[in-house]
Amino acid sequence: MVTTSYYAQEKKIKNPVRISQQKYRWGTNSREYKKLAPPMYLVDYWKKGSITVEQYTEEYYRVVLSKLNPQEVLDEIIRIFGDDATLLCFEKAGEFCHRRLVAEWIEKGTGVEVPELQF
C-alpha cells in the first residue's frame, strides 16, 4: 500500500520516496519522484506566508496535478518504487502539505486509499 509521511520519520520508513523539490537538509536516503513536486515559486510563497492554503491548493492543482492522471501516477509509483512506497515531504503529520493533496487526488481518482503513516 502506498502511504505518506514526512522527512523526520524517514529512518522508520522502509521505502521512502521524495516528492519535494529539495532534499531534507540533514540528508535523505529517499529516491525522488519529481512529477509531484510543487514548483519552487509556490514553495517560496508558502514559506513567506504570502499565499493561503486555498491559494496554494488551487495553484498546485493547476500547475501539477491537472497535468497528470492519478491512475497513471499510482501505477508508475508502484512500478518504479514498489507498492510499499511512502511519499515524503517536509511538513509534520496533521499540518497542511502537498503530500496529503496528492494522497486525496490519488484516492479520488483511483479509489485506492493512501493513508498517512502513524508513528
Report yes or no on whether pTM surpasses 0.95: no
Per mean pLDDT, which range of 25-34, 46-55, 71-80, 88-97 is the poorest?
25-34
Calculate mean pLDDT across residues 15-34: 82
Between 9-13, 22-26, 72-76, the lowest mean confidence (pLDDT) is in: 22-26
Cell of 61: 492543482
Whole-angstrom distance, CA of residue 28 vs CA of residue 10: 8
pLDDT in tens, 57-76: 999 999 999 999 999 999 99
Strands 86-89 and 3-6: parallel
- Residue 23 vs residue 5, higher pLDDT: 5
| Domain residue extents for the chain | 3-110
C-alpha cell at 52: 493561503
What is the model's pLDDT at position 11? Answer: 87
Which triple of cell numbers denotes residue 50?
504570502
Q: What percent of the chain has pLDDT over 70?
A: 95
